[in-house]
Amino acid sequence: MLIFGHRGASAELPENTLEAFRRALELGVDVIETDVHATRDGHVVVHHDATGERMSKEPRAVADVTLEEIRRWDAGRGFSGRLATADAGRPFQVPTLEEALEALPGVPLNVDIKPRGAVPLVLRVIERAGAHERVLLTSFHDDVTRAVRAAGYKGRTGLSRGEVLRALALPAWAPRVLRPPGDRVQIPVAMGPVPLARPDLVRRLQRLGLRVDFWVVNDVVGAHRVARSGADGIMTDDPRTIVSAIRAR
């Protein structure tokens, strides 16, 4: 089962920074999960929220600032964990997707594209880096995933929210031709009171030719439950805990 570092080792270091990505890899994750937005001047930056308020205490939207301006943001200002002594007191920069690909050669990335307008920019960065074989592109938004596929992306894609719901609604006897396009279903361990990390559900999706990943799991009991379901992947903020829990089984 693949272990995804959700925004890196975001329980230990500010999320979506190169430092968090490297820490996650040191702790044994297989894939780095991250998010991207586009700046006003057309650069793709690694950032989850539409604004810098939560992580950088900067209220402006990513789409309204230039790369030069976002370089001055400190992505560690809003970090709620306790930094190690070596990391305390220093700024954490918001990286570009290009920098992340360069800093993590050969590392598989799961990239969640937030705004529809970022799609051509993201594809251009991946093409320039020759990284399509190691970058899975995902989005909650149907229009984003449609745009990625319509542009002829040569790499793998995940299912959008609407596509996930369609896949979950398919009966057990449904042929593969009826499944939504895409390669991986990435879902929470439960939707309200309904548990999703179940062997029957996982097997049904896998019979359709889909890989199944669950998010976001930070406790050992939950990790073991996901592993018993037969899932293909698990996303965690806390690789230090989850890698050892999964690998020890």
Catalytic residue (one of 37, 43, 47, 48)? 48
Q: How far apart are CA 132 and CA 136, in angstroms?
A: 8
Decide if 37 is catalytic: no
Cβ(8)–Cβ(21) under 8 Å? yes
| Alpha carbon of residue 103 to chain centroid | 17
Cβ(34)–Cβ(16) under 8 Å? yes
Q: How many secondary structure helices (H) and strands (E) does the chain include? A: 10, 12
The amino acid present at 9, given as its one-letter code, is: A
Cβ(54)–Cβ(15) under 8 Å? no
Decide if 132 is catalytic: no
Q: How far is CA 234 from CA 4, 171, 237, in A?
A: 6, 24, 10
Residues known to be catalytic: 6, 48
